[in-house]
Structure 1
Amino acid sequence: MNIVIKQIELIERIDRLIRMQATGSPEELAHRLEISKTKLYRALNIMRELNAPIVYDVSLQSFIYKEAVGFSFGFYHKNRKPNKINPFVG
């Protein structure tokens, strides 16, 4: 599979867990994602470069977003109105 697609899928998984406030510690998250801590921190840094306001909340033991943000990646038909739940489905 393409490296870019794998990276996007990883970011989507991390985003989902952050939204659920269910990442656990960095070690737990890396284990859950079956990646190294180094690869996890690279992905988090990419997300931050894309303006994701990610912080680690010690009391929740989870990464969280400091403010509400959205993330989507993909293509959709310009002639169709995006679906509010999934903007890629017309």
Structure 2
Amino acid sequence: MKTIKHVERLQQLHNLIQMECTGSPGQIANRLRISERTVYYLIEQLKDYEAQIGYDRSRRTYFYKDDFILEVNFSICIGTHDQVTEILEGSYFKNSTGRVFDRNSF
């Protein structure tokens, strides 16, 4: 479950950066209920995914310098060596209202 929570935090940060209303790293940490160090870790992870992220000191917000999309895909399979059953597959992302969208709903 830690992986799912991490992906959700990454998605929340992505949404804030997209809307250009992140606030300072401390404010992000308070909003997402994580440490400031984790905020920096998540930002570095987005950069590892080739997101071009800048910070505007006057507006106190992170922003994307170029278009960047974050889409999460997942699959859960169970089984034995000779038989595997996929029990859950899909992708989702949350928009700024927090509503979860399934990839097939478009």
Common fold: TM-score over 0.5:
yes
| Aligned counterpart, 1:18 | 17
Gap runs ≥5 in structure 2: 74-89, 92-100
| Aligned counterpart, 2:103 | 88
Q: For residue 88 of structure 1, what is the amino acid of its counterpart?
A: R
For residues 60 and 19 of structure 1, what CA distance do their matches in structure 2 show? Answer: 14
Runs of 4+ off more than 2 Å: none
For residues 59 and 51 of structure 2, what CA distance do their matches in structure 1 show? Answer: 19
Q: Which has the larger radius of gyration?
A: 2
Kindly tell me the number of residue pairs found equivalent between the two proteins. 80
User: How big is the alpha-carbon RMSD for the aligned residues of Structure 1 and Structure 2?
Assistant: 1.5
Deviation at 1:46?
0.9
Q: Percent identity?
A: 29
TM-score normalised by L of structure 2:
0.69
TM-score normalised by L of structure 1:
0.80
Gap runs ≥5 in structure 1: 77-85
Residue 59 (str. 1) matches residue 58 (str. 2): yes
Q: Deviations over 1:57-84 (max 9, x none)?
A: 11221010011111101236xxxxxxxx
Residue aligned with 1:39, SS: helix
Q: For residue 18 of structure 2, what is the amino acid of its counterpart?
A: R
Residue aligned with 1:67, SS: coil
Q: For residue 9 of structure 1, what is the amino acid of its counterpart?
A: E
| Aligned counterpart, 1:80 | none
For residues 28 and 56 of structure 1, what CA distance do their matches in structure 2 show? Answer: 14
More strand by share: 2
| Aligned counterpart, 1:28 | 27
For residues 49 and 3 of structure 1, what CA distance do their matches in structure 2 show? Answer: 20
